[in-house]
Structure 1
């Protein structure tokens, strides 16, 4: 098990890329708006395309999709071309007070910020026991969310 702590945007994004690069089967992400996630960056797009082409499943849960819709056109194209492997959900008002942020790869690796308004967090690699509670949290958030961020404006 390897734990790396961080407190800057650059380090968060570096660790996020490291976790995404290790994913083979599943990526589960939760963030209120994904504003600090580089989903529109070319290198992240390439990693996600490779992951999805290899059969991976990507799930995003969020409070609102406006940031992605406005600032991540590459991710929206990815959603159009690989929509059968990507599912996005938006939370309902009852759980919009949740403020943590995390990305879990294959139930083995995680990068998390303890509060979405701050950059302090940690990345943990090769530690399924460290992802157990966040996986349960993601499952509960997923259950309490509705489909959102569709590949086209009409949702088709």
Structure 2
């Protein structure tokens, strides 16, 4: 299927709901604070839960500012606790603070891209591993910068 240009927040949200159920092996997300691709809705959490219940799946979440999602996304935090073996939640290093784009990569063949987090424009790629390859390489480059693990359990006594 060809790439589709998305020009509104509604189109981006619909594309995310369309792509999440396609995941068979991996979901990789890079964002500033999950505002580009909010996951906290019951419908999205249910899709992620269903995905993570399957054997040999991986959800990797890399955020530049994980604080808002740690405190404002209790369903996601619970999901991370329940599926810690398959859910990796990371904070991007300060060296990547200037990045303004965001991406969701589903397996090696689907992608949802946001060109700039402040603009409601993006691109959806379906069933095209070749078109997704540069974004997968970029995600791996982000990981190679040295991300740190985000704690999803509260600290204290």
What TM-score do the two structures reach when normalised by structure 1? Answer: 0.93
Deviation at 1:63, TM superposition (A): 0.6
1-structure distance, mates of 2:90, 2:70: 14
Q: For residues 3-152 of structure 1, what are the structure 2 equivalents within 5 Å?
A: 3-55=3-55, 56-152=57-153
Gaps of 5+ in 1: none
In 1, the alpha carbon distance for the partners of 2:99 and 2:131 equals: 20
CA RMSD of aligned residues (A): 1.2
Q: What is the distance in 2 between the residues matched to 1:91 and 1:53?
A: 26
Q: Offset of 1:42 from its aligned partner?
A: 0.3
1:27-83 deviation per Cα after TM superposition (whole angstroms, max 9, x unaligned): 111011111322110000110001000122000111110221232110000001001
User: Displacement of 1:99 after TM fit?
Assistant: 1.1
Secondary structure of the residue that 1:88 maps to in structure 2? strand
Quote the offset at 1:109 in angstroms: 0.3
Q: Secondary structure at the match of 1:129?
A: helix
Mapped to 2, the partners of 1:32 and 1:151 lie a distance apart of 17
Alignment size in residue pairs? 154
> Quick check: 1:27–1:57 contact (8 Å CA) kept in 2?
yes
Moved more, 20-29 or 35-44: 35-44
Q: Using the alignment, how far apart are the partners of 2:17 and 2:148 within structure 1?
A: 25
Structure 2 residues not aligned, in runs of 5+: none
Residues 124, 109 of structure 1: alpha-carbon distance in 2 compared, 3 angstrom cutoff:
same
